[in-house]
Amino acid sequence: MKPIRLTPVTVRRVRLTAGPGFVGMMALILATPARGGDNEPPSGFVALFDGRDLSGWRVPQGDGGHWKVVEGVIDYDAESQARGDKGLWTDREFGDFVLLVDWRLKEAPYLNQGVPYILPDGTHARDIHGKELKLSLPDADSGILLRGSGRTQINIWCWPIGSGEMYGIRTNPRTPPELRAAVTPRMQADKPVGQWNRFEITVRGDEVKVALNDKLVLPGARIPNMPARGRIGLQHHGGKREGKWAGPPSLIQFKNIFIKELN
């Protein structure tokens, strides 16, 4: 087969036929930080995890080795023996930043019989009698905790609404309707359990934006009373009762945790 040669005419035709979709795709490619090897930060970012150990992170006292590094990733089995907060937190505090985090749920062994049917405005769907609709689904649960607070959590789970919501704010009965809608994902952008996902979380002032796998799931939510600074955490969730999971566990791994502080 003869090699194909691009003549000036050919190039001109490509330029003429490139429509808005092509332009949008190129803009997304140019805006997305280039990926190097695992745990090597892209230009302008600093790695919070080096792929070797948990330097720069506060392992909960009495954890028992359940937060650990396995083959270049942070691995958690949801069985920390620590008392109180079992999450993994950075040593440093941060104010405004862009945070990149790759994560994957290893499995979802817990059958959650109470998964709500969440509407776009953040409320729960109900039947004609006013009873809340519930789904029964395999589930796991974790999240990224922002500025030292569990309230400002970016959720990771198996719910149909998708990861990226701010659960503690959405479910607060005192949350105004417009804020409840703002912290509810615009789409479900998760990959199947076992596959890697990437969050890009932007926090500036009291505004939080979240992209999941290059899709903007939270275009911008302004969170009242959000702390000005705080540590970043990886959430523990779940526990066992009589040897069985009593709730959706954080059977999860993290890598490529990079941050760019904003002025």
- DSSP characters over the chain: -PPP---HHHHHHHHHH--HHHHHHHHHHHHSPPP-STT-PPTT-EES--SS--TTEEPPTT--S-EEEETTEEEE-S----SS---EEESS-BSSEEEEEEEEE----EEEEEEE-B-TTSPBPB-TTSPBPEEEEEE-EEEEEETTEEEEEEEEE--TT-TT--HHHHT-TTS-HHHHHHTS-SS--PPPTTS-EEEEEEEETTEEEEEETTEEEEEEEE-TT--SSB--EE-----EETTEESS----EEEEEEEEEE--
DSSP 172-206: -TTS-HHHHHHTS-SS--PPPTTS-EEEEEEEETT
- What pTM, to 2 d.p., does this model score? 0.85
- Determine contact, residues 86/78, Cβ cutoff 8 Å: no
Question: What residue spans define the domains of the chain?
Answer: 37-261
Euclidean distance between the first and the last CA atom of the chain, given in angstroms as a whole number: 55
Q: What is the pLDDT of residue 36?
A: 58
Confidence of residue 37 (pLDDT cuts 50, 70, 90): confident
- Domain boundaries 37-261, corresponding CATH code: 2.60.120.560
Give the C-alpha separation, 246 to 221, whole Å.
32
Give the C-alpha separation, 61 to 84, whole Å.
9
Cα-to-chain-centroid distance, residue 212: 7
Average pLDDT in the chain: 90
The torsion angles phi and psi of 261, rounded to 5 degrees, stand at: -75, 140
Give the type of residue at 25. Answer: M
Token reading at 193: 């359990």
Q: What is the pLDDT of residue 247?
A: 96
pLDDT for residue 15 is more than 80:
no
What count of other Cβ atoms lies within 10 Å of the Cβ of residue 46? 11
Q: Give the model confidence (pLDDT) of 139-183 as tens digits.
A: 999 999 999 999 999 999 999 999 999 999 999 999 999 999 999
- Determine contact, residues 204/262, Cβ cutoff 8 Å: yes
Average pLDDT over residues 92-111: 98
Give the C-alpha separation, 126 to 116, whole Å.
9
Q: Lowest mean pLDDT of 9-18, 178-187, 195-204, 214-223, name the range.
A: 9-18
Give the type of residue at 93. Answer: E
